[in-house]
Amino acid sequence: MDKKRKPIILVVDDNSGFLQAVRMAFDSRDYSLFTALDGQEGYDCAVKQHPDVIFTDVKMPNISGLEFLHKLLSDEKTKNIPVVIVTASHFDPSTEMVFKQENNVKGFLQKPCPIDTLKDAVAEIVNK
């Protein structure tokens, strides 16, 4: 990534409180932040903005997090965008493994998680 360009972050989540917290945390001087309320809106934004990292919830209206991941993977323009799953859902280990097997999934965070944890995930992915 060009050192002068701000990291582009896409957050796909139907929880308005979480989106508001993310908007406050990722200052527009340091990041370009886009949000979407479901997987389809997230996919459309990913194609248009080509973010450096995507944070997505699992349970969302219209298109779920897993369906969203599959849409990203099936498109040449989006298949290599790193994705971090951020969810309040409590998964058994086998469900978590389904997500971790997807090539574009780079992490799995449990909500609520500290904003610094989200920022650390962005820094780790962007600096690779």
Full set of structural domains in the chain with CATH: 8-126 (3.40.50.2300)
Provide the whole-model pTM.
0.89
CA–CA gap between residue 74 and residue 53 (Å, rounded): 17
Q: Burial of 20 by CB count in 10 Å (0-12 exposed, 13-18 middle, 19+ buried)?
A: exposed
CA distances from 63 to 18, 53, 93, 123 (A): 19, 19, 23, 28
Query: pLDDT tens string for the chain (128 positions)?
Result: 455 789 999 999 999 988 998 998 898 899 999 999 999 999 999 999 999 999 999 888 899 888 999 999 999 999 999 999 988 766 666 667 777 777 788 888 888 888 899 999 999 998 87
